[in-house]
A and B are shown apart, each in its own frame.
Chain A
């Protein structure tokens, strides 16, 4: 086994013990965040995918702001600080969601 083979083996052994960061998708459709509440682990990536005909934002005051996400576009963000975040669309006051980071 060459050096690279040993490295691959070491990685294969080590990986199950490392917290693998996951990716979660929140769809924005029908002027709603779907699902409305999403629970993730710190370091996970959250992708907001806008399937509506109009632009939206995914914004948590003081924490993150996607700015305008065009129709058909996505925006992703990794939240590292555990907590409960109120996520809104700055353009449409009725659109609210919750992001829980554990």
Chain B
């Protein structure tokens, strides 16, 4: 897939090969990455839930809104408790840009084309975030509670990826 994939790869590359080559993102940067990553998927889910004609895609989209809102609520509560102020950085900005581009593209589509583009992007997005969790965010997190949160949220991303892949193959038939 055209620019969405390359945008995601760019996000991933930014996450894996940070400018701060030696230390990886700091806790305030990780907080911004987590909140942005969840928010862009909430935004895409809201758009998809109101645009799709497919019951399965709508259910999935609503689930993304519910689950990523739940994660963000607890992530925000934790960083508030820890007095960590989320600090925007190259990775969080790339995620936001990728999310904005995805929304702009989806808004031009309808019907089966919309469903396919949304679900394809969800598969790539969840895979990219999982890679970032494993390769960058968990290894870089310094605060134990922040690290725990990242570890705890991982299975939800795996379940979402499986669900998105299942939808993707169902739509392809």
| A interface residues (Cβ-Cβ under 8 A, vs B) | 30-32, 52-55, 71, 91-95
Contact = CB atoms under 8 A, between A and B. Distances in A.
Contacts, number: 40
A100 B153 CA distance: 30
B156 A52 contact: yes
6 contacts: A30-B152, A52-B155, A53-B71, A54-B71, A92-B163, A95-B159
Contacts of B155: 30-32, 52
B9 interface: no
Interface string B77-108: 00000000000000000000000000000000
A55 B63 CA distance: 10
Nearest to A71: B70
A44 B24 CA distance: 51
A30 B149 CA distance: 11
B63 A31 contact: no
Q: Is the interface of A mostly helix, strand, loop or mixed?
A: loop
Q: Is the interface of B mostly helix, strand, loop or mixed?
A: helix
A31 B156 CA distance: 6
B74 A53 contact: yes
A84 B71 CA distance: 33
B156 A71 contact: no
A53 B151 CA distance: 11
A93 B165 CA distance: 12
A32 B158 CA distance: 12
Closest 9 CB pairs between A and B?
A54-B67, A31-B155, A30-B155, A54-B70, A31-B159, A53-B71, A53-B74, A92-B159, A53-B70
Given A30-B155, A32-B155, A71-B74, A55 B162 contact: no
Nearest to B154: A30
Q: Which of B67, B162, B166 has the most CB of A within 10 A?
A: B67
B133 to A, nearest CB: 13
Nearest to B163: A93
B143 interface: no
A26 B156 CA distance: 18
Nearest to B160: A92
B152 A53 contact: yes
A55 B159 CA distance: 13
B126 to A, nearest CB: 13
